[in-house]
């Protein structure tokens, strides 16, 4: 497949900050971007050459969009598979519908990971309160119940403890398909972002530690303070999964380092990942440029960091601290241009280089 050279147009499905930073990286390499998203306000569209505001099931709009771009990628992994399949009749979508079908559904995702020989928390599919009661027993008396689809930042998940009524817990989740997972006793949470090119070449950023607050990523520490053996295992896992899934683009792999030393996969994201924002300032080629290179069929860049880094998300009105962050030596500020600073909303991030 011939590459899409600089000067071409990259279509981006989804209009959020991940698309914005992709478009900025693409622009630096001489590409134009065209965003397709259902929302009127789009941080990605504001820095792109073109914007199609359309619902995911607006077939005429999908067809026009496909006709106007050279290659398509995505910044939102819950784009309906039918929309991706429709666009893919005209233009390559990277990563494609087969990848999304796996990563949009927690049962499909965990089944895939285990089939690839990689460990996860023990889990059971749950479709009723009775299933949940049985799963809780099998998983050690407590479990975490998660909706199969559309969960993020802790939405669509509840802890089920020994005394809890499975009926009430199941009803509270308001779904017909869920997964129950054993509670992992972890030393830390970490992630690896792996890029995979059209030719199958791989390039991985080193594992980083992720600290969450109220289920939202608060801080990423790069590199993760873990033994070399665990770091190598985390990279091996991410590269195995990217290869088995045949991702073209990026795969973010969220993992637990269990207290017993096991590396267990929690979740996959086939797109740029919040835990990779540090790479924008601390690596020769950051994750957004790497995505552009992968989907356009260019050689992948060097992911090696030239510095340690700490990334802090700016949530809600924390972004109002921009004057002091701009004044801080060594701090690199990134703002997403969102107008409304709702509590917990990701408004920007700050990278600080060097070990902390």
Residue 216 found at the interface with ligand AMP (CB under 6 A): no
Residue from 266, 275, 290, 313 that binds ligand AMP (CB under 6 A)? 266
| Residue 279 near residue 29 (C-beta atoms within 8 A) | no
Query: Which residue is nearest to ligand AMP, using beta carbons?
Result: 184
Contacts (Cβ under 8 Å, ≥6 apart) of 15: 35, 36, 37, 38, 39, 41, 42, 43, 44, 45, 51, 75
Residue 212 found at the interface with ligand AMP (CB under 6 A): yes
Distance CA 105, CA 335 (A): 31
Residue 108 found at the interface with ligand AMP (CB under 6 A): no
Give the x-and-dash track for 323-342 against ligand AMP (CB under 6 A). Answer: --------------------
Residue-level length of the chain: 356
Closest to 264 (Cα-Cα) out of 295, 300, 299, 237: 237
Residue 267 found at the interface with ligand AMP (CB under 6 A): yes
Residue 77 found at the interface with ligand AMP (CB under 6 A): no
Residue from 29, 49, 144, 258 that binds ligand AMP (CB under 6 A)? 144
Judged by beta carbon, residue 48 or residue 157, the one nearer ligand AMP is 157
| Residue 246 near residue 112 (C-beta atoms within 8 A) | no
User: In angstroms, what is the minimal distance from the CB of 119 to ligand AMP?
Assistant: 12
Judged by beta carbon, residue 213 or residue 317, the one nearer ligand AMP is 213
Q: Where are the alpha helices (DSSP H) in 57-214?
A: 59-68, 81-88, 97-103, 106-115, 129-138, 166-173
Residue 259 found at the interface with ligand AMP (CB under 6 A): no
Phi-psi region of 254 (alpha: psi -120 to 50; beta: other; left: phi over 0): beta
Buried b (16+ CB within 10 A) or exposed e, 312-321: bbbbeebbee
Judged by beta carbon, residue 204 or residue 266, the one nearer ligand AMP is 266
User: In angstroms, what is the minimal distance from the CB of 95 to ligand AMP?
Assistant: 19
Judged by beta carbon, residue 107 or residue 144, the one nearer ligand AMP is 144
Residue from 64, 215, 218, 259 that binds ligand AMP (CB under 6 A)? 215
User: In angstroms, what is the minimal distance from the CB of 103 to ligand AMP?
Assistant: 12
| Residue 251 near residue 272 (C-beta atoms within 8 A) | no
Residue 140 found at the interface with ligand AMP (CB under 6 A): no
Distance CA 232, CA 255 (A): 13
Distance CA 36, CA 64 (A): 11
User: In angstroms, what is the minimal distance from the CB of 173 to ligand AMP?
Assistant: 13
Give the x-and-dash track for 165-194 against ligand AMP (CB under 6 A). Answer: ----------------x-xx----x-----
Residue 257 found at the interface with ligand AMP (CB under 6 A): no
User: In angstroms, what is the minimal distance from the CB of 145 to ligand AMP?
Assistant: 10
Closest to 75 (Cα-Cα) out of 10, 147, 4, 28: 10
Distance CA 42, CA 34 (A): 12
- Residues in contact with ligand AMP by the rule CB under 6 A: 121, 144, 146, 151, 154, 157, 181, 183-184, 189, 212, 215, 254, 266-267
């Amino acid at each position: 497949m011939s590459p899409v050279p600089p000067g071409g147009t990259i279509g981006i499905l989804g209009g959020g900050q991940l698309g914005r930073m992709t478009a900025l990286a693409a622009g630096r390499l001489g590409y134009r971007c065209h965003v397709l998203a259902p929302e009127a306000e789009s941080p990605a569209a504001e820095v792109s050459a073109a914007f199609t505001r359309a619902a995911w099931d607006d077939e005429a709009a999908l067809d026009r969009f496909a006709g106007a771009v050279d290659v398509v990628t995505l910044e939102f992994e819950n784009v309906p598979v039918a929309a991706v399949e429709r666009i893919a009749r005209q233009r390559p979508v990277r990563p494609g519908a087969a990848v999304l079908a796996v990563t949009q559904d927690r049962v499909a995702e965990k089944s895939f990971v285990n089939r690839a020989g990689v460990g996860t928390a023990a889990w059971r599919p749950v479709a009723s309160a009775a299933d949940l009661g049985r799963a809780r027993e099998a998983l050690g008396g407590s479990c975490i119940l998660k909706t199969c689809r559309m969960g993020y930042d802790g939405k669509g998940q509840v802890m089920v403890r020994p005394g809890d009524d499975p009926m009430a817990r199941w009803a509270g989740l308001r779904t017909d398909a869920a997964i129950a997972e054993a509670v992992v006793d972890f030393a830390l949470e970490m992630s690896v972002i792996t890029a995979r090119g059209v030719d199958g070449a791989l390039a991985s950023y080193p594992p980083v530690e992720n600290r969450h607050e109220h289920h939202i990523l608060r801080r990423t520490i790069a590199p993760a303070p873990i033994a070399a053996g665990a770091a190598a295992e985390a990279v091996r896992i991410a590269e195995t999964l990217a290869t088995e899934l045949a991702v073209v683009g990026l795969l973010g792999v969220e993992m637990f380092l269990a207290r017993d030393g096991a590396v267990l996969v929690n979740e996959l994201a086939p797109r740029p990942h919040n835990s990779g924002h540090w790479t924008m300032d601390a690596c020769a080629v950051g994750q957004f440029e790497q995505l552009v290179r992968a989907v356009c069929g260019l050689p992948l860049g060097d992911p090696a960091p030239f510095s340690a880094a700490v990334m802090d998300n700016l949530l809600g009105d924390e972004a109002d601290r921009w004057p002091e962050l701009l004044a801080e030596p060594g701090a690199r500020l990134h703002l997403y241009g969102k107008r409304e600073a709702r509590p917990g909303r990701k408004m920007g991030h700050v990278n600080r280089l060097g070990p902390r």
